[in-house]
Amino acid sequence: MNQKIAIVTGGAGFLGSHLCDKFIKENCKVICIDNLITGNPNNIAHLFGNPNFEFIKHDITNYIFVPGQVDYILHFASPASPIDYLKLPIQTLKVGSLGTHKVLGLAKEKKARILLASTSEVYGDPNIHPQKEDYWGNVNPVGPRGVYDEAKRFAEAITMAYNRYHGVDTRIVRIFNTYGPRMRLNDGRALPAFVDQALKNEDITVFGDGTQTRSFCYVDDLVDGIYKLLMSDEIYPVNIGNPDEITIKQFAEEVIRITGTKSKIVYKELPEDDPKVRQPDISKAKSLLNWFPKIGREEGLKRTIDYFLEQRKIS
């Protein structure tokens, strides 16, 4: 059988590295491309030496030549936490626009199927709740989050254009808040921040009054949904996330309970344009892909906390 070859951009990142693992498990050869500005080689260290794995350090906003056959491209390169894209606004815009253009060109050349990692951020601070794929969103293009939101909206538009005008075989996943091992403790997101603070018995910093909501999906569920979407025929965006919605204050309390920390909640200023609610409507993924999340927050949090504890021992 002809072995499939998959490129994962951002393959040394949190989600990208789990996708590298998944495609290797599915007997593919994986080419991981990452410029390591937010990715971490430790996430893929276990794959070095595997004959089915190759790593290329490259900034995908620049042209790349890949010799030979390519069957799948998973475009996951981008700063993705609010702190990262606020620190790296131009790189975020460039990888979403120029980077997506480059990988679409590569997909066209290789006649490969390409899956774009889009985001619930395309819905902005949503006026429709929960968010369904046919909602066009409420994004502030000139606000601080605009660099990520608009880059991903452009990425979706150019992906559809390559599908319609160049016949490229495309897929778009809209990823909602995801967590699990290989997240960076210092990526600024609520989940690693709260766990880190809890493990150090430091104050837990809830932004605003904590009534804003999020819905957290465990990484294994997400990877499973992405794989099913790639193998499906659906060219329009599909939400993948866990609809179990919680306020950020309740979530902080949950982390306190599960870790048994002495930490107390303190309240800090809410960042500009912070979405007030977020919950995926996953009826499309359910009916189309027969996909739904299986790992609840309690179990997922325990596995993630174990990973963070392990990391602390190593460092």
**Catalytic residue annotation:** 148
Q: Is 232 in the site for ligand UDP (CB under 6 A)?
A: no
What lies within 8 Å, CB to CB, of 74 at 6+ separation is 6, 7, 8, 9, 16, 19, 23, 114, 115, 117, 226, 230
- Least distance (Å) from ligand UDP to the CB of residue 202? 11
* Helix, coil or strand: residue 28: coil
> Residue 189, interface with ligand UDP (CB under 6 A)?
yes
Burial state string for 26-57 with b = 16 or more CB within 10 A and e = fewer than 16: eebbbbbbbbeebbeeebbeebeeeebbbbee
* 3-state SS class at 140: coil
Among 40, 205, 247, 283, binds ligand UDP (CB under 6 A): 205
Q: Which x/- pattern, by CB under 6 A, does the window 136-165 give for ligand UDP?
A: ------------------------------
Q: How far is the CB of 215 from ligand UDP (least distance, A)?
A: 9
- When the beta carbons of 109 and 203 are compared against ligand UDP, the nearer one is 203
When computed from its CA atoms, the radius of gyration of the chain, rounded to whole angstroms, is 19
Q: How far is the CB of 148 from ligand UDP (least distance, A)?
A: 9
Least distance from ligand UDP to the Cβ atom of residue 184, Å: 12
The yes or no reply on residue 115 touching ligand UDP (CB under 6 A) is no
Q: Which of 29, 174, 184, 214 binds ligand UDP (CB under 6 A)?
A: 214
Which of 128, 75, 115 is CA-nearest to residue 226? 115
Name the DSSP class of 42.
G
Stretch that binds ligand UDP, among 60-68, 107-115, 200-208, 218-226 (CB under 6 A): 200-208
The span from the CA of 254 to the CA of 249, in Å, is 9
Nearer Cβ to ligand UDP, position 166 or 268?
A: 268
Q: Which residues pair with 115 in a beta bridge?
A: 74, 171
Report d(CA 191, CA 84) in Å as an integer: 15
Amino acid sitting at position 42? N
Among 207, 236, 292, 307, binds ligand UDP (CB under 6 A): 207
Q: Using CB under 6 A, which of the segments 28-36, 102-110, 221-229, 270-278 binds ligand UDP?
A: 270-278
Q: Which of 97, 131, 159, 177 binds ligand UDP (CB under 6 A)?
A: 177
Strands 213-215 and 245-247: antiparallel
Piece in contact with ligand UDP (CB under 6 A), picked from 7-15, 85-93, 183-191, 220-228? 183-191
List the one residue from 43, 212, 242, 304 that touches ligand UDP (CB under 6 A): 212
Strands 204-207, 29-34: pairing kind: unpaired
Quick one: which of 253, 271, 273, 303 contacts ligand UDP (CB under 6 A)? 271
Tokens of 148: 């990520």
Query: Using CB under 6 A as the criterion, which residues of the chain lie in contact with ligand UDP when the complex forms?
Result: 81-82, 177, 188-190, 193, 205-207, 212, 214, 248, 270-271, 274
